[in-house]
Amino acid sequence: MAEPSTTTAITVATTGIGLAAMFPGIDGNALIGAFAGATLFVMSAKELRHWVRAMYLLISLTMGYIAAPEIINLTFIKESGVAGFLGGVLCISVTLPVVRQMEDVNLINLIRGLRK
């Protein structure tokens, strides 16, 4: 069973997303899709602390919504909800391994190697 604080946070976030989708100029399908993708990622990352999961939720939601039009333009996907979902799931899943690899790289040696 989910912890009460997690359930409350998801309920509040879902209500906020639903209300925000009603504003003109906001693509509600992309917003709800990005939220679903972000929630899927965050709920599967059980080993992370709650505040880290909350930050990942915000980052995934924001980037999933922003990435939705670009995903539509670059792929066969034509629905903004599906594109937002993919953006929400993939933004953290793809960038975290890259960030972890960058922590191990010596940038000065990399730049010197590129100059040669």
**Cβ-count burial 47-84 (b if 16+ within 10 Å, e if not):** eeeeeebeebbebbbebbbebbeebbeeeeeeebbbbb
In this structure, what DSSP letter does residue 48 have?
S
Query: Residues 60, 83: contact at Cβ < 8 Å?
Result: no
Both tokens of residue 9? 């946070």
| pLDDT on residue 19 | 61
For the chain, how many structural domains are there in total? 1
Q: Global pTM?
A: 0.69
pLDDT in tens, the chain (116 residues): 455 555 666 666 666 666 665 666 778 788 889 888 888 888 887 788 888 888 888 899 889 999 999 999 999 999 999 999 999 998 888 888 888 877 777 777 777 777 76
The domain in which residue 33 lies consists of 4-115
Per the listing, tokens 């709650």 go with: 50
